[in-house]
């Protein structure tokens, strides 16, 4: 069985790197909470394989939230670190 870990953006501050990971399994590599996204586009620009895009939908704040195209995410975490909105992006990383 494949094991994975999660970087939760709610735990982004005041924590040790080793404590940032929580074991989970069977998740997509990235989860986006649409209603917390403010459409700044930083994650779209920063993503190396360009697997994020601005959606056509509107969230509760009237922004077009980012969405994952559904393939190609490497769980590098760059989008997580550039996102200014805590809780908007969660990354699941595989454990070797
Ligand atoms: S974790 Fe890396 S590859 Fe995946 S969406 Fe974020 S920046 Fe792109
Ligand atoms: S960096 Fe965060 S707030 Fe900005 S577009 Fe991406 S998910 Fe939305």
Q: Quick one: pLDDT at residue 12?
A: 46
Query: Domain spanning 4-94: which CATH class is it, in words?
Result: alpha beta
Q: Quick one: pLDDT at residue 10?
A: 45
* Cα dihedral across residues 22, 27, 33, 37: positive or negative: positive
Q: Quick one: pLDDT at residue 28?
A: 83
Decide: pTM greater than 0.75: yes
The SS3 of residue 67 is strand
Supply the residue whose CA is at minimum distance from atom 6 of ligand 2.
43
Tens of pLDDT, residue by residue over 14-23, are 333 333 333 3
Of the bound ligands, which one is closest to the alpha carbon of residue 32? 2
Distance (Å, whole) CA 29 – CA 88:
14
Q: Specify the higher pLDDT residue, 18 or 79.
A: 79
Of the bound ligands, which one is closest to the alpha carbon of residue 46? 1
Domain boundaries, the chain: 4-94
Q: Once rounded to an integer, what is the mean pLDDT over residues 42-55?
A: 98
Under the banding of pLDDT at 50, 70 and 90, the label for residue 94 is low
Distance 79 CA to ligand 2 centre (A): 8
Supply the residue whose CA is at minimum distance from atom 2 of ligand 1.
76
């Amino acid at each position: 069985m494949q094991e994975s870990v999660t970087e939760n953006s709610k735990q982004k501050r005041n924590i040790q790197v080793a404590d940032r990971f929580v074991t989970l399994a069977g998740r997509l590599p990235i989860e986006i909470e649409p209603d917390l996204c403010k459409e700044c586009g930083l994650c779209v620009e920063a993503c190396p394989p360009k697997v994020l895009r601005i959606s056509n939908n509107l969230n509760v704040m009237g922004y077009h939230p980012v969405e994952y195209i559904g393939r190609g995410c490497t769980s590098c975490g760059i989008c997580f670190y550039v996102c200014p909105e805590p809780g908007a992006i969660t990354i699941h990383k595989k454990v070797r």
